[in-house]
Structure 1
Amino acid sequence: MSRRIVFVVFDGFQPLDLTGPHEVFHSAGDTYVCEVVAPRAGPVRSVSGLLVHAGHGVADLGPAGIDTLVVVGGRGVDQARQDEALVSWIAAAAAGARRVASVCSGVFLLAAAGLLDGRRVTTHWAREEQLAREHPEVRVDCEPIFVRDGPVWTSAGVTAGMDLALALVEDDLGRDVAHAVARRLVLFLRRPGGQSQFSVALWSRQPATDPVRAAVTAIHADPGARHDIAGLAAHAGLSPRHLQRRFTAELGVPPAAYVERVRVEAAQRALTEGDEPVEAIARRYGFTTAETLRRTFHRRLGVAPSDYRARFRSTAEAAVAHHVPQKGEPV
């Protein structure tokens, strides 16, 4: 029997909050049937102007029979949560659903519906303070990209909704199917929920000058190289003291912290993409010993390297080599 996924949208929603998770569920085969509901049936305009057709309005779609309710986010959420009919429908639908999820600021609609009291949730980091201030009954944690608290799943912004949807697919159908879907959608790496919202590419600013850019390029070109301040200064053509000051001012973090972050992400990729021993990965990416890598992973990711590998790499080569086709879909 198919599982019914119902997405809630509204004027000013973020389109990727809908289309990203929608494609994840659609790519998992015939397991899921996706529907879209809005305050009124018909065209709904996203924050970027994209029009999406809502097949149902809350007045004509009964709240029963929903497996998973997914509430999207977007700038329009502040207006949408003032819509009493919409909020009441979400509360009624959630009461009968097996699980409830929100993407980004969609969490504000769940909170308005009274679904989050005492629960731990996440949202886009830019809305963290507002959510905590307006809903002190909710435990807000904006470090992870998604959080599960019982039947309620919440995620950070935009692309994190795809990570959340993949986790829901895995919860239903297993890790191999989730990995096959990720491969079909060309998602480079299915991220764990506990991974920080702030990867190197997002968490740090971009270099503003050529000397600092040269140092950053050297780090990414060979994460396992020594990369002490003297060596990076040589790449930059600056004195070590001058580079330390410029690097921190331009990127928001000192060189040593940036190097460690790049090394951790390189090790994450190696752990999920191959069978190289943890000890070898530690040496290759500048951690010297497996114990140093383990301590760094625990501090940054809250998990050991071996556990990270076991949790986030599929063991079935056939599953990751081929997507899960829809019935009648050409291969």
Structure 2
Amino acid sequence: MEGRKVVVVGYHAAELLDIACVTSAFLAANVQTRRPYYDVSLATPGGRPITCGSGLALQGQQTLERLTGPLDTLIVSGGPGHEDAAANTVIVGHVRRLARESRRVASVCTGASILAATGLLDGRRATTHWRFASELAARHPAITVDPDPIFIRDGGVSTAAGVTSALDLTLALVEEDHGPTLARDIARYLVTYLQRPGNQAQMSMFTAPRPTSDGLVDRIVEHITTHLAGDLTAAVLAAAAGVSERHLTRLFLKHLGLPPGRYVRRVRTEAAAHLLVTTRLPVSSIATRCGFGTPETLRQAFTTRYGISPARYRQTQTRPLTTAL
């Protein structure tokens, strides 16, 4: 039995975790099944060792310039050296060539900038690490960059967000190849979440830094997050801020990129997601606490934001649940 050929592309100052999450998860499939499901290798320019962003060195197993297909899966890693790699015509040219000889192609983290340089992401929806999303969008307007999901699959091309999201994407690829049971076994073996859905947000209001340095906007944002069940209409928020609704909308668009109403809906939805995975509260109670009023209103907002229902979202999470006070 010949394993599916998986090649990870590395380069100087690539992120070690971007590479290891992919290779370890694919090779764990071989360990769990005792079958050579995947033939995994690291391709580097000239086949030379690379020094990762962490300072550790990795030996290339394949010479990028000499590697030929057909390949099953080609994955481009990200890392601090992604800008130099994306500007390197040799690396970009061979990634473009190998992509044509691969069944599916993916990038991890800022590896999306290298795929973008090949033109492969033009006309597609893609993601990257949230910190670099706006930069990718500005440099490549033909790409629809969505900074929220942990990974996006658009046809035969996938892009994963920051670092460990490579593990989530790889588990999804294994599930595609061999079914959910093996993907779950690998997750258990690696002692990680069974599987986060790809459209789970990279960042949320509970982990993100303060969204703006504007004092008035910060004050209103704090009011929103601490009064989710209250009246958070634009009129009420504007009155609390002491400005007109029009001016409040201008401030929100400038500093948060969303008008007040959409921002409130997003925060409420993220708060509901947090409660779904950290409590045993029924969906009706979560809807009330987060200001949605009814479970149906919550379901509609949740499906729009995450692409799945609240119940399905809860099922895919594996954190220990506790009853909220």
State whether TM-score is above 0.5: yes
Displacement of 1:313 in angstroms is 7.6
Look up the match of 1:12. Answer: 13
2:12 partner amino acid: D
**Residue of 40, 62, 73 corresponding to 1:68:** 73
CA pair 140-260 structure 1, distance change in 2 beyond 3 A: closer
Q: Amino acid of the residue matched to residue 52 of structure 1?
A: L
**Who is 2:219 aligned against?**
none
Aligned counterpart, 1:233: none
Deviates more, 1:282-291 or 1:81-90: 282-291
Mapped partners of 2:286, 2:123: distance in 1: 44
Relative to structure 1, the CA distance from residue 256 to residue 133 in structure 2 (aligned partners, 3 Å threshold; closer, same or farther) is closer
Whether 1:57 aligns to 2:63 is yes
- Aligned counterparts of 1:187 and 1:201: Cα–Cα separation in 2: 21
Equivalent of residue 48 in structure 2, options 10, 30, 42: 42
C-alpha deviation, 1:65, in angstroms: 2.4
After TM superposition, give the deviation of residue 91 of structure 1 in Å. 1.0
Maintained 8 Å contact 2:9/2:75:
yes
* TM-fit CA distance, 1:202: 2.8
SS, match of residue 75 in structure 2: strand
Deviation at 1:125, TM superposition (A): 1.5
Give the number of equivalent residue pairs. Answer: 268
Answer yes or no: is the 8 Å Cα contact 1:63–1:89 preserved in 2.
no
TM-score by length of 1: 0.70
Q: Which residue of 1 aligns with 2:273?
A: 264
The one-letter amino acid paired with 1:44 is I
CA distance in 1: counterparts of 2:123 and 2:104, whole angstroms: 17
Q: Tell me what 1:163 maps to.
A: 168
For 2:49, what is the secondary structure of its paired residue?
Answer: strand
Map of 1:91 onto structure 2? 96
Counterpart of 1:182 in structure 2 is 187
Cα displacement string for residues 164-208 of structure 1 (whole angstroms, at most 9, x for unaligned residues): 111111111112221221122111352111111114553256xxx
**8 Å CA contact retained: 1:228, 1:256:** no
Cα contact 1:58–1:85 (8 A) shared by 2: no
Deviation at 1:21, TM superposition (A): 1.5
2:9 and 2:74 in contact (8 A); partners too: yes
Tell me the distance in 1 between the aligned counterparts of 2:48 and 2:86. Answer: 19
Structure 2: gaps of 5 or more residues:
31-35, 211-224, 231-239, 241-255, 257-262, 319-325
Task: Work out which of the residue numbers 88, 104, 121 in structure 2 matches 1:116.
Answer: 121
CA distance in 1: counterparts of 2:47 and 2:19, whole angstroms: 16
1:213-253 Cα deviation digits (max 9, x unpaired): xxxxxx9xxxxxx9979xxxxxxxxxxx9xxxxxxxxxx9x
Q: 1:228 to 1:57 in 2, by over 3 A?
A: same
Q: Distance in 1 between matches of 2:55 and 2:119?
A: 30
Task: Give the aligned CA root-mean-square deviation in angstroms.
Answer: 3.3
What residue identity is the alignment partner of 1:109? I
Q: Deviations over 1:70-112 (max 9, x none)?
A: 0000111111122222211111111010000000111111121
Query: Whole-Å Cα distance in 2 between the matches of residues 82 and 14 of structure 1?
Result: 17
What stretches of structure 1 move > 6 A for 4+ residues in a row? 226-229, 254-260
Contact 2:269/2:302, CA 8 A, preserved across alignment: no
Report if the CA contact (8 A) 1:4-1:67 is conserved. Answer: yes
